Chain A
Amino acid sequence: MTNTTAAAHHAHGSSNKKWAIGFSTIVAVIFLLNVFVLPNTNTQVQRFFNAWFSLNSLAEIMIWILMALGLNIIVGYAGLLDLGYVAFWALGGYVAGWLMSPFFNQVSINFFGNPREGLEMGIHFHVFLVLILGGVFTAIWGVIIGGPTLRLKSDYLALVTLGFGEIIPQFMLNGSNIFGLNVTNGAQGIGGLDAVLLFGHEIGTFALPEKFLMVSLLAGAMIFFSIRLRDGRLGRAWLAIREDELAASMMGVPLWRTKFSSYAIGAVGGGIGGVGFAILIGGVYADRFNFVISIIILAMVVLGGMGNVWGVVVGATVLAWVNSVGLVQVGNLINNTFDTKFNFPSYQFLLFGLLLVLMMLFRREGFLPEARMRMVMNEDKLEDLEKVTDDTKIGSH
């Protein structure tokens, strides 16, 4: 056990730099392709790329990667089931909506912001500050949600997060009149976000390649932090709690505080992703945030392999692509080839539901698991002598 973990750990560390280079290369290739190559090709090639790999969908994939990695810290690292992760997405999005738009037109605050011509009212912060505040704000909410419930049984946490995942979007949807103040603008949402001004260069509403580069940077940073956190003291404590709470606490891991920090840090990923997404689409709209989103993010984490950063990245990429263009395009292709008329997007629920069920039944550790996670998830299949049986686990009943 010690040997395998050490070996896995070593392999993990050495692949660290390689993956960083790989990720940057992929991002750079996509960027250069869209800026320099595609505009000079014929319409057929352009149409193909627009249909199958539009830059918009690729940028959204980066946001999904960010979200999935944030949830991975909670579910994959610490082993706590969060079913309301969409709440953090919504909160992050609204922080961007509040702090870099003309929405609060009762005041006029400009802190290195970039308000549009004639829309100087409202709050306009610099995008870096908004990202930081978005992270802090969601971390605070993570603490509020996690604080009271982390002392409870783990399945209760799932329920409470589910409850918050419903309450917060509903608040956003109904929050157009909170004691007379329009907080969230209800179902219309907050549109017309400021264009991002980075180092004197303005990223306009339709500057998709630059926006793609920006969200890729955020996703890259999240990948980096996920790996670093996992290998650090805190990360090792999370993994210990995930595998055996009792043993971890005997080894001096403060259970509640460690779970708590995983929840707060995981929330930050959602918040920053929310800010990034709001900037990407230029606004924040409450009706987007529903339970299905939470489940899709969970499916990404489960598909790739809970706890493994690269597994989650691949899982998020595949599912986000399938969800945005893949299902439609593959469906069209099949319908055109075989002359059928299936409505493929209507199978989305079945796809995600079956995916979760089948993964749990036949490959619990995900498609790209770590050796360690495979052992955790398949403990019940081990020989009697190898496993920690129920009899030796105090308080398992």
Chain B
Amino acid sequence: MTSVASGVARKKKFSSSAVLLKVSMFLVIGAIAYWLGSNLVNDPRAFVQVTINGINNGLLYALIALGYTLVYGIIELINFAHGDLFMLTSVFSFAILTELLGAKEPGARNFALLLLVLLFTMAFGAIVNVTIERVAYRRLRNAPKLAPLITAVGMSFVLQWIGLKWIGSVPVNVFTVLPATKYEFAGIEIAFKTLAIFIITIPILITFAFIVNKTRRGRAMRATAQDKDASRLMGINVNQTISFTFAIAGAAAGAAGIMWAQTIGTVSYNLGFQLGLIAFTSAVLGGVGNLYGAVLGGLLVGLIQAYNDGLAVGLGQRWSQTMVFSILILLMVYRPGGLLGTSSQEKV
């Protein structure tokens, strides 16, 4: 009798907290809408300008987030080392393009070199990522979840150390090969760098989406993500498929790395930690495991960050990181499955 009564009481309490959750969620959304709306009314032109900057960064975030989402989708591992892999590829692109090939100013030859080194950097990212998986994560695939997570954290430190030894502890300026030209449309400036990001990242994103959705390899990936044992029985080489996933993730990080170095203009050894967190937030925002979710999440995080940093009414740049992590935490509270994902409550 008492147990029944307490059960009922607990159930009731639970639903009231759910109502509280809903109400507070609408309050948060309302506050964000008010903030953006008031900025739009204040100065529409600046708003559009900031939006373009946001999409610019957002596309880079999307490329990194892709790596998180693919790896999480297939082996349910938050690859903490992914942000540092991105850092390492940006350092690699700097070492090859700027230092080795000496491409330090805009020009047709240097732009061609950029495209060439883009491929190299993507290959480099893929190789490093596959090696990490082969050396560390594969041996821990059946181990308790804590083990691969801690390994990933350790790997991120190792990669950071390589970056530190490669370029030193001070951020290094990169001489970009992209011209500083700006185009003006109806009072809104669009830099050539922004266009370059669009031209280069969008085809890459489409290619990856095509690989995952339309090819045989992609189908094998999706099958492995759903059920490893069943896919093995169906004749899929599970180890190879997982390696392939890591290769794609690494290549995406490589593309993001070189574009970051060329457009933002600095590389540093501790870039990966921050960018990794931002990208993971993007992946979770979109729904981790969902390819389009990563792109959507990356764009949204880029926009929110740009609005916060650039708009007249905003907290300003020094709270930028705090904003991103707050999004992450709010998401965990209200919609852990992300915008396009499914719920990920602990299955008990």
Q: With contacts A148-B333, A302-B150, A364-B143 known, is A353 near B161, CB below 8 A? A: yes
In the complex, chain B residues whose CB is within 8 Å of the CB of A4: none
- Verify A397–B227 contact, CB threshold 8 A: yes
- Verify A162–B151 contact, CB threshold 8 A: no
In the complex, chain B residues whose CB is within 8 Å of the CB of A167: 321-322, 325-326, 329
Report the minimum CB–CB distance from A190 to chain B (whole Å). 19
Interface assignment of A79: CB less than 8 Å from any CB of chain B: yes
Q: Point out the residue from A156, A162, A166, A353 that lies within 8 Å of B160, measured CB to CB.
A: A353
In the complex, chain A residues whose CB is within 8 Å of the CB of B145: 154-155
- Verify B325–A79 contact, CB threshold 8 A: no
* Binary A-proximity of B331-348 (CB < 8 A = 1, otherwise 0): 011001000000011111
Report the minimum CB–CB distance from B172 to chain A (whole Å). 17
Interface assignment of B257: CB less than 8 Å from any CB of chain A: no
Complex Cα spacing A350 to B163, Å? 11
- Verify B326–A249 contact, CB threshold 8 A: no
- Verify A361–B139 contact, CB threshold 8 A: yes
- Verify A298–B348 contact, CB threshold 8 A: no
- Verify A159–B284 contact, CB threshold 8 A: yes
Report the minimum CB–CB distance from A315 to chain B (whole Å). 14
- Verify B136–A160 contact, CB threshold 8 A: no
Q: Name the residue of chain B whose CB is nearest to the CB of A379.
A: B144
Report the minimum CB–CB distance from A252 to chain B (whole Å). 11
B interface size (C-beta, 8 A): 49
**CB interface residues, B 304-340, toward A, < 8 Å:** 318-319, 321-322, 325-326, 328-329, 332-333, 336
Q: Point out the residue from B151, B165, B281 that lies within 8 Å of A361, measured CB to CB.
A: B151
- Verify B329–A354 contact, CB threshold 8 A: no
* Binary A-proximity of B136-150 (CB < 8 A = 1, otherwise 0): 100110111111111
- Verify B329–A164 contact, CB threshold 8 A: yes
- Verify A349–B348 contact, CB threshold 8 A: no
- Verify B280–A159 contact, CB threshold 8 A: yes
Complex Cα spacing A195 to B139, Å? 53
Q: With contacts A171-B322, A174-B318, A350-B161 known, is A357 near B151, CB below 8 A? A: yes
Report the minimum CB–CB distance from B27 to chain A (whole Å). 16
Q: Name the residue of chain B whose CB is nearest to the CB of A364.
A: B147
- Verify A162–B277 contact, CB threshold 8 A: yes
Complex Cα spacing A381 to B88, Å? 34
Complex Cα spacing A1 to B264, Å? 58
- Verify A349–B164 contact, CB threshold 8 A: yes
In the complex, chain B residues whose CB is within 8 Å of the CB of A376: 144
Main secondary structure of the interface of A (DSSP, over half): helix
- Verify A160–B148 contact, CB threshold 8 A: no
In the complex, chain A residues whose CB is within 8 Å of the CB of B322: 166-167, 170-171, 174
- Verify B78–A361 contact, CB threshold 8 A: no
Q: With contacts A174-B319, A298-B150 known, is A377 near B157, CB below 8 A? A: no
- Verify A353–B154 contact, CB threshold 8 A: yes
In the complex, chain B residues whose CB is within 8 Å of the CB of A162: 277
Complex Cα spacing A174 to B332, Å? 25
Interface assignment of B153: CB less than 8 Å from any CB of chain A: yes
Complex Cα spacing A164 to B329, Å? 8
In the complex, chain A residues whose CB is within 8 Å of the CB of B48: none
- Verify A353–B157 contact, CB threshold 8 A: yes
Q: With contacts A156-B332, A174-B318 known, is A83 near B153, CB below 8 A? A: yes
Interface assignment of A13: CB less than 8 Å from any CB of chain B: no
- Verify A354–B333 contact, CB threshold 8 A: no
**CB interface residues, A 56-89, toward B, < 8 Å:** 75, 79, 81, 83
- Verify A360–B345 contact, CB threshold 8 A: no
Q: Point out the residue from B153, B161, B329 that lies within 8 Å of A295, measured CB to CB.
A: B153
In the complex, chain A residues whose CB is within 8 Å of the CB of B159: 353
- Verify B139–A395 contact, CB threshold 8 A: no
Interface assignment of B290: CB less than 8 Å from any CB of chain A: no
The 6 A-B pairs with the shortest beta carbon distances in the complex, nearest first, are: A353-B157, A356-B154, A349-B161, A380-B142, A353-B158, A395-B347
**Can you name 12 extra interface pairs (CB under 8 A) apart from A246-B348, A346-B165?**
A75-B146, A149-B332, A154-B145, A154-B146, A159-B78, A164-B329, A166-B321, A166-B322, A170-B319, A255-B348, A361-B136, A397-B227
Pick 7 A–B contacts, CB within 8 A, sort by A: A153-B346, A163-B328, A295-B157, A349-B158, A353-B156, A361-B139, A361-B140
